[in-house]
Structure 1
Amino acid sequence: MDRLSPSVFAGLLTVNGVLTYANKAALDAIGARAEDVLGRPFDATPWWGFSDQGRQRLRDAIRAAGQGHTSRFDVLILDRNGRVRTMDFTLHPVYDDKGNVTYMVPSARDITERRQAERELRLTQFAVDHARGAMFQIDADGRVRYANRAACDMLGYAREDLTGRLLSDIDPTMTEGVWREHLHELKAQGSARLESLARRSDGGLIPIEVTATYIEYEGEPVSFSYVDDLTARRASEERIHYLTRFDGLTRLPNRTALHERLEQAIESAQLSNSPVALLIVGLDRLGLVNDALGHAGGDEVLRAIAERLSACAETPATVARIGGDEFAIMYTTDTQQDLHAEYWTQRILESVSEPLRINDQEICVTCSIGSAAYPFDGADSGELFKNATSALRRAKGRGRNMHLAYVSAAANRDPERLALELALRGALKHGEFSVHYQPRIDVDSGAPVGAEALLRWHHPHMGMISPARFIPVAEETGLIESIGEWVLRAACEQNRLWRESGLMPGRIGVNLSARQFRHADLALRVVQLLKETGLDPQHLELELTESMLMEDVDTAVATMTCLKNYGVSIAVDDFGTGYSGLSYLKRFPIDTLKIDQSFVREITSDPASAAIADAIIAMAQRLNLDVIAEGVETPEQCRLLRESGCRYMQGYLFARPVPTEDLTKLLRVGHVGRHL
């Protein structure tokens, strides 16, 4: 028996269960000598000292062996190193010539690793079977070898009905030939991802995304696939698509949809030589209506005006809502004379000015109209929008309730401003912009917990140009959209680089312009930009002003909700200077309020400013929002804000806006020198 494999333990027992022999492997396992165990009852030896249950099973086996029965069971022992081992134990009876049991042969094999592997396999099987995602194993013939519970639930099959079914029964596009080709490509690439359709047991089709991995199991090729039901995602995408093309309040096409239709009309006009006209209709003094009726009443006015404009327009004209109080009408005509015909604009002016009855109050609203036409006033939709908007501003400036057509005024413009605009148009292309960062400080620790990204422009000849000079020009010309996107991308990429280097800058706040926020596909643009830069959405904070939110509350809520659901944080900048009511504030999915620096500046000298700051902090705490004080410049301001419960601040007291490399140094240090 000593010649047996070292993993096989063996011995001899008398019919009374006394151990008379143990091989070397058995003795070595427990670190015992023969004289320590021989002559003792087998159940009293160290092999059986670990488990009472195992000792009882041995006694039962000895009695059974005495009656001529063989027993086999698993037992746990404690080896010489104190490790628990699992043994496959067998007890055989041995007979003499007369058929009587004369002695017994115990043997055991160490199966610890095998049992561990079996447990891990069962655990894996359990985890796969109870996973929330649908999982399939498909063999080389395109048959379902295995499907977990989630897969059965997704397709509405019992497991026995799904197992063995051809893949083509489930995925109509996956015929035998297509499957063979797919399996060949999968073998070459190792894994693949694709979108397809799956047929449920009731015959209905659902969109799916399949992530497949090629493996060879027992010499046979197998595809292990994780399948995601895209039904909810597609419904969400359709909803987002609607929100990106239509105004939620009036159901009219929005700015994005109008741009697309205008570009299509211009393409057609290039072939037919038919002019295209764009009218931008701006309601006059809608803010006064909101003050009188509240924003709910203002919304009713906007819906009523939308209906009137739609009634004025003639097919195939497009009526759109492009901003808070602005609409647009686009149409084609055969002659230039008809483009700005008085009957069109006069009809709109008269229709809009007819009294409205809202909440038992009679309201009169007027409008101003600016117009531009292709190809006379612009070569593309962007230029037409810009020039029609310019004409609208002139109409409002001349007294409102009138229409003015665009007239090129380049020759009469301020030469300095024109030079600034021209320089601004080339600034992005020539890499003249940079981003500085003003850190946000936790005043309890002095640690930077975030930063606000601020645009800076250094012109090669004009030097540093103040944002106060060039931002209004960028807004007016429409350049703010491309500039704003550049700032957002630069801040996201830098945040990712900081994190990859082991630094933790917190959330980086990026200001959005009103033009950017009005863009119907803003949420989709931000999501795509985050994917391209590789930044986790939770590390980005978008800063909006109250006035931007109140231009169109429903659309603002929808856009913010999309961003919030994706993980992006929302801050309301310059809070306290706008006109949002508490009822509206509760509707917005925001994370942070930023106290405007005008209140912070006067907090030590003006009781009213101090009271407003206290109220904002208290309100933020009740709404479970973060609050940040901007423009903190003195220790006394810091002290008063901190006593009111404001923990996060930014301002010259702690740090001015600094270039990337300076904030990097601050992040490495981990705290600012000045804090209370």
Structure 2
Amino acid sequence: MQILTFDECALFIILLFWVFALIRKEYKNRSGKILMFLLTLVLLTVIADLGGGTICNYCSGGRANLILAYVYNYLYFFCHNLLLPVYMLYIYSSLDLWHIFREYRFRHALWWGLIIVDNVVLALNGFVFDVFKLTDDITYVRGPWLVVFYLVAVIYLGWILGTLIRFRTYILKDKLSTLIFLFVSVSTGLAIQLTQTGLLVECFCISLAVLFFMVMLRRAVNQVNPITGAQKYTACIEKVTMNFKSAKPISVVFVKIVNNNNLHMYLGLKGHNEFLYSTTSRIDAICAGHGLTSSVYYMENGLYAIVSDEAVEEIVADAAEEIMASLTAEHHIGKLTVFADVRVCVVFCPKDMSDSSSLFSLGTNFHRTLPDTQNVHYYRDFKDNDEYKVRNDLDDILRRAVRDNNFEMYYQPIYSVREKKFVAAEAMIRLNDPIYGQVPPSLFIPAAEINGCIHDIGDFVFNDVIRFISTLDMNALGLKYIEMNLSASQCIEVDLVDKIKNLMFEYGVDPRFVSFELTEAATDMNPEIVDMNIRKLHEYGVKIALDDYGTGYSNIKRTTGLPIDQVKLDKSFVDMIDDPQMCIVIQDTISMFKEMDKEVLVEGVEEEAVARKFSDLEADLIQGCELMQGFFFCKPIPGPEFLDFIKRYKDKAFESII
């Protein structure tokens, strides 16, 4: 009765989860197919054990029952002996170690050799009955050769345990604990079956292990995002990290929808979700059409990662090209038609890249660091390019610069048209990296605003420039102020004003010698905090300038509502000064700000002809521009050189300079 109790429980558990795995279509990939085969073997083992036990315990003798009992027992041993070798295959496959198992012929020979030994011994039992036999009254009797099966099982168990120990650092704790529990459960069942011949609980122990298997599979179900239809980014991190640790060859295709936020606003939440699901379906279909064993992951913010196992590079390249063509074609979402701005980058690992952190950094930034084209990019074509290396390593460059103080302040003189001399300067930060050398601000400033380093950079600028001002005799040099840039992120710092006041107090700097530039974009961020900070700084005596006027979507009411002393016209105005229509715009713009009692400074003056046009206050073309700045007068230079420059031209008129 005890045998039936254990086996009936085992049959119920195994049958339940076998059906569950079948409904979930676990047989789609290699690991799923092995798992379904393993569950089928367990199910057949339990059925055979239950059938054989029923006949032996509850049926009378007779030739028909004896033959049926032999059939059940042979089926039991055949399926039972395959459980551990198939379980081993599942471990190698599910842990992405299949390439390791496949590479070594000795493993193949041993794996097949042990299976052959089991089946040869089982076949010989039909002649010598040294594994088991059944008496005429259908009594089960163990034979001396049965120990062979247990010895083979011990070898497999040792092999499995060694594999789990060797690769334990590669495996997530929950998956490792599940695999170890199965190992312990099967080992316990074998030990009990070997030592307690009347207590046949091995199949029940195996069914408990299967129960834990299903828990692990349920976790895999939760890794799929139901909105996008793709797996979550956490699953991607887990898989790719494991692949790198085991040196498994994979290809990763990153797909970035650059205008994802715009599509979200245009389509709305429901329409955007439908768009993402459709995108995932397109990618899945293309990968399947090219015969790729791929997993599609949605990494958030319009970024997909398609990871393919051991794929041929040419096939992956063809699939990437088709993905680009498909996703850049028009999408119909309801009654709306949209076009996605897509970038695609292909990486072959570990040949192209050997660590997961660099790979995910590439995935996050490649649409900014690689050329802005809708061609498929291959990382191998860019990885040795110096400019790409700088762009891709900007986060590390910035962290290194903040840590090691790799910044230096340069100063560009500002020329007064009316006074015909240099009266101010703009402070500009430079980054000199020990590995890459000079890194342009146009590269590292946007990156710093994204990763948050802009606040550390801003603190360096405040401290270094205010300290520099404190070393100058501003009045004797004829300098009225030195300007510093305020980024959009800095404008909303709640302690901005106190920070600047404390530095001025520490270095004994008069606020009138300091000017801060802010862009039009900065004025739109959190208006209440920006207004409060700018007004407090202005009330303290600091000069406020609006930088790069004309490059943004200018809101006159917004920008003129702030206490702005100076407006700096962007270089784009200068570049179009010879256009008659643009001249009217420039003239009217300057006149407008002059009527508002604001200084006007023209940036980007690089030619003598342009400088003379802006310097001629009597000309009909442009009137009222007080200040100019640009390479025609002087490029940005380090502090000591700037000081020498100002002393050299302190009393010289404009005509003598040009």
TM class by smaller structure: 0.3 to 0.5
| Structure (1 or 2) with the greater strand fraction | 1
Greater length-normalized contact order (CA 8 Å, ≥ 6 residues apart):
2
Compute the TM-score of the two structures, normalised by the length of structure 2: 0.40
Q: Normalising to structure 1: TM-score of the pair?
A: 0.39
Higher helix share: 2
